Amino acid sequence: LVLIVDHAEGLVDSGTDISPYVTIAFNDRPAAEKTFVCHNTHTPIWDEKFKLAGLNEVTHLTFTVWNEGVHEDGFLGQARWDITKRDVNGTVDVVLQPRPGNIGDVQGLERWGSFGKLSLIVEWILH
């Protein structure tokens, strides 16, 4: 799978300047990949390519958008993308959601109305 983490729109945070980056996790494992940080923007453009292999046992990818902080990184949103069908090529927009069971995230969603969206470009390479 060739995956480009392209850009995000509508990111919200209580601070004025955010420096977002994205982590990619396979199934429910710890993050395996990470984009670079886009400094001081609510509309980051990463356009960063990842070649993901060994996905036979993987059912979904989890994308988490973080705000790089001085002492601690802040959560900006998360999207889970089902890859079992493997029939999607081109641009995929995923809506960012709160983390399951996280009350603070749910309150943030109620306050802001949306965490925004993440745009990916997907190309399945068959071998």
81-102 tens-digit pLDDT: 999 877 788 999 999 999 999 9
Q: Can you give the pLDDT at residue 96?
A: 96
What integer is the mean pLDDT of 105-119? 92
pLDDT, average across residues 24-42: 94
- Stated length of the chain: 127
Place of tokens 């199934």: 27
Give residue 23's identity as a one-letter amino acid code: T
pTM of the model: 0.93
Confidence of residue 124 (pLDDT cuts 50, 70, 90): confident
Which is higher by pLDDT, 116 or 16? 116
CB 10 within 8 A of CB 113: no
| Dihedral over Cα of 121, 123, 124, 127: its sign | negative
pLDDT band of 36, cuts 50, 70, 90? very high
pLDDT of residue 127: 57
